[in-house]
Amino acid sequence: MAAAQPAPGPALYLNAVERRYRQGDNTLEILRGAELGCWLGQSIALIAPSGAGKSTFLHIAGLLEHPDGGEVYVDGQPTSSLSDAARTQIRRTEMGFVYQAHHLLPEFSAVENVMLPQMIRGLSRSESHRRSAELLTYLGLKARLDHRPSELSGGEQQRVAIARAVANAPRILLADEPTGNLDPHTADHVFDTLNQLVRASGLAAIIATHNLDLARRMDRRVTIREGVVVELD
């Protein structure tokens, strides 16, 4: 009988991560051995009050900050000893980011905002336009491709930001309060769009949110307590 194949590891794994900041003569401990793994096709809601360390956690997970201890593994590979250029390359190819503020470039249209990261990666203008139009159409923005951010509603702007985050087909999506600036109805619609995209693409997604109703629709729910990650329900 053939031996059973081991289950593939998480796309993103934070192991015993520590992060501390100096404040004058004091040291503020934010993360104290935090651990979390996220597999492809899995969505995790990170629910924590302001000041608990969720933004710091996401910055470290996204290789935007170095931890003071522990390790961040992307597809099983440690990242702490990588050069800044190598970390940037991982962020560019393996990760997508969505923030509470959409950060769209105001002088470009919706489709051009989504094209930019693809062209930076090396795709031709025609190919990036085709892919961007297809993605925005999937997100319900077919009639808004040539509109600039100022001509879009808040929910439409955030859907463009989501499209931009996944334009390069990342394996990992990190979102920090992506619906925090939206009214409840719009937030619900945008979150459903995001969740649908995560499931259709098989992304490993960690989404920080204060909205418990939205969090319940995700596969797992975790919080940060005294610097460590704790599973909920």
Judge whether 189 lies within some domain.
Answer: yes
Judge whether 1 lies within some domain.
Answer: no
Query: What per-residue string of b and e applies to 96-118 under the rule 16 or more CB within 10 Å gives b?
Result: bbbbbebebeeeebbbbbbbebb
- The whole-number pLDDT of residue 1 equals 41
- The whole-number pLDDT of residue 4 equals 43
Structure tokens at 22: 């100096």
Count of structural domains, the chain: 1
Judge whether 2 lies within some domain.
Answer: no
Spatial separation of the C-alpha atoms in residues 123 and 125, rounded to whole Å: 7
CATH number, domain with residue 85: 3.40.50.300
Structure tokens at 107: 């002088």
Q: What is the mean pLDDT of each run of 10 residues along the chain (233 residues)?
A: 56 95 86 95 90 89 94 94 93 88 90 92 91 90 94 90 90 88 81 84 90 88 94 87
Judge whether 69 lies within some domain.
Answer: yes
Spatial separation of the C-alpha atoms in residues 124 and 121, rounded to whole Å: 9
User: Could you tell me the residue range of the domain that residue 85 belongs to?
Assistant: 12-231
- The whole-number pLDDT of residue 127 equals 93
Separation in Å, CA 2 to CA 6, 187, 227? 12, 49, 43
155 and 180 Cβ atoms separated by less than 8 Å: no
Spatial separation of the C-alpha atoms in residues 111 and 122, rounded to whole Å: 17
- The whole-number pLDDT of residue 222 equals 96
225 and 53 Cβ atoms separated by less than 8 Å: no
Judge whether 55 lies within some domain.
Answer: yes
Query: What is the pTM for the complete model shown?
Result: 0.87
